[in-house]
Structure 1
Amino acid sequence: MAQLGEVFVCKLCGNEVTVTKAGGNPSIHCCGQEMTKKSK
């Protein structure tokens, strides 16, 4: 599950998402595939 403050990026389009509210969804998707956690 994504944690508050984590940033995820789409490998296809470069879209970035910052988690502002942790919830029950175990993964974040964009362009039809799972986004990856951005390394600091």
Structure 2
Amino acid sequence: MVGLIALAIIGALTFVAGGNGGMWTRVQTEVTSAMSGEGG
């Protein structure tokens, strides 16, 4: 599913970003919105 692919990409980008608290918070927000079906 597209959602799973996006989640994998976001996870990879977060890993590459490495330890950036602000970035991680944003990622979590985006993922939560996506999983909630609100479209970000």
Q: TM-score range by the shorter chain?
A: under 0.3
TM-score, normalising length from structure 1? 0.28
The structure whose residues are more often strand, as a share, is 1
TM-score, normalising length from structure 2? 0.28
Q: Greater relative contact order (Cα 8 A, min sep 6): structure 1 or 2?
A: 1
